[in-house]
Amino acid sequence: MSQLSRLISILTLLKSKRLLTASELAKKYEVSVRTIYRDIRKLEDAGIPVYTIEGRGYSLVDNYTVAPVQFTEKQANALITAQHVVSQSKDVSFVNDFNEAMIKIKSVFKTSVQQKSELLNDKIHVFNWEYEEFSSDALSEIQLAITNFNLVEINYQKAEDPRISFRKIEPCAMYSTNNKWILIAWCHLRTDMRAFRIDRIRHFKILSDTFDDRKFSIQDYFASCPYDHKK
């Protein structure tokens, strides 16, 4: 059983108003007590209000409920499939945020849908034959900068170039191609729109300063630069 599947199962048990001990959970899932401690911490990090009753076990805060959203089996399967695709991303923040969202989403699946989605989860695998050592941990923060119009400072390294340049940018949009995320931004250094591979951003800082919306259209961008997104 994957960690995410185990987290969903633990949450389902907690939702049934049961008081669960770490030892009981470790025995049920055939893992160590230390692993259960990490699982509970992961649930807390995802915003699930788990609390510890000293000497007795774990429970959920009173009156905690999950929104009554119903998913069909096909919709649940689509989410499971998307999770496998997302797991191939080279951006750690994106994968972590998606997995934490899935913990919450899967907790509202009907039991029968949840069981079938877990069955499908074990029968899907996505291969990524293109290996690159570069990875990133910036996607989630940069997405917030796009929607909140925050200026961003980055240290950027171009392909096959050992030099790292400092840029102040206005993030406008992003797209994915060949399993790589590309950020389109107004570059203050070049005074023009530039495309930056997010996995080549070596350091970034989201500034509190904001910029005016340039009304950037990614559709118009692709129309004027038809080959850029194929790189």
Q: How far apart are CA 30 and CA 28, in angstroms?
A: 6
Q: In sequence order, what are the residues at sequence separation of 6 or more whose Cβ sits closer than 8 angstroms to the Cβ of residue 125?
A: 84
Query: Which of 44, 16, 40, 15 has the alpha carbon at shortest distance from 29?
Result: 40
Q: What is the pTM of this model?
A: 0.62
Low-confidence residues in the chain, pLDDT < 50? 229-231
Q: How far apart are CA 190 and CA 179, in angstroms?
A: 27
Q: In sequence order, what are the residues at sequence separation of 6 or more whose Cβ sits closer than 8 angstroms to the Cβ of residue 43?
A: 7, 10, 11, 50, 103
According to the model, what pLDDT value does residue 130 have? 64
Element (H, E) at 157: strand 150-157
Element (H, E) at 171: strand 164-177
CA-to-CA dists, residue 106 to 50, 79, 98, angstroms: 17, 9, 12
Query: Which of 110, 114, 17 has the alpha carbon at shortest distance from 59?
Result: 17
According to the model, what pLDDT value does residue 231 have? 42
Query: Which of 40, 140, 47, 143 has the alpha carbon at shortest distance from 95?
Result: 140
According to the model, what pLDDT value does residue 31 have? 92
Residue with tokens 């350091």: 203
Query: What's the alpha-carbon Rg for the chain, to the nearest Å?
Result: 21
180 token code pair? 């790589």
